[in-house]
Amino acid sequence: MISYSQNQEDVVLFRLVQLVPEGFYVDVGAAHPVLDNVTYALYEAGWRGINVEPMKREADLLREVRPRDTTCAVAAGNTPGSMTLYAAPLDNRGATTADKELVAVYQRNGQVFEAFDVEVVRLDEILQHNKIEEIHILKIDVEGFEREVLEGASIEKYRPWVLVIEATRPNSTVDVSAEWEKLVLDSGYVKTLFDGLNKFYVRTDMPEIVNMMSVPANVFDSWKSSEVSNLTKVIDGLTQQAKTLQEEISQMSENFSKELAARESSFRSAEEYALSLEKRLAEINNKDSSH
């Protein structure tokens, strides 16, 4: 498989494809449809789902690149209404947040954030509106707003097989999952994996999935990163171009050799003809002299 996610989360989740060829995910904080995306590999494998993404640029891209998905250009939270988000620059787009203190830290480092207002909807309402009955994966990455998203979602009702939730303070290794983890555990889930960035949780009544989600991405998953895959494609393309060019040069060389041989043959024929004319002319001259 090709991994597109930042921390190989999709490699771990992709193990579910062998059990569910056409599963369903809910991606809260989906961001770009491909780059550093946790669910794109699943989409390529035939899955579909709901993307919750408040940034218009990213939401438009999601609709364009992933037409099987349903994309909601809203923020998920615990209270319907509106809120102000701060859009990060394109080279750090995933840092978009509602946290003013975090924005101040980024701004002190020279990054420019733009404030914009967005509608807030409870995840329950999104799922109900789309008549969702079964969820295999619920992924949440909302830069410090995880508790609010969980408070607006009836986890115990929809019972996703697997939850993947960003567990560290944005742009740091500080584990802040204590702010919301009890909500997950009390809904009948067990933590199976912490990959340094996210925590994975699985329903306690699914021991096979618990085991499957307990091991980090490794060589036995037979994966390669999208960067390596793209470089391989470039190298393969250049290799094919070189092969084609070599074949064209070989063909040109062969054609040139044939043309040269033909010209040499023609030259010899012309030379022989000229010599015969000279000989004939000499014979004529000798004949005239004898008279």
CA dihedral 175, 179, 185, 187 (to 10 degrees): -140
Q: What is the pLDDT of residue 15?
A: 98
Q: What is the pLDDT of residue 290?
A: 66
| 62 contact partners, CB below 8 Å, separation of at least 6 | 30, 33, 51, 53, 69, 71
Can you tell me the mean pLDDT for 15-37?
97
Q: How confident is the model at residue 173 (pLDDT cuts 50, 70, 90)?
A: very high
Higher pLDDT pick, 247 / 127: 127
Q: What is the pLDDT of residue 100?
A: 85
Can you tell me the mean pLDDT for 117-143?
97
- The pLDDT > 90 percentage for the chain reads 66
Q: Assess contact for 16 and 130: CB atoms under 8 A.
A: no
Q: Is residue 231 pLDDT above 80, yes or no?
A: no
| 186 contact partners, CB below 8 Å, separation of at least 6 | none
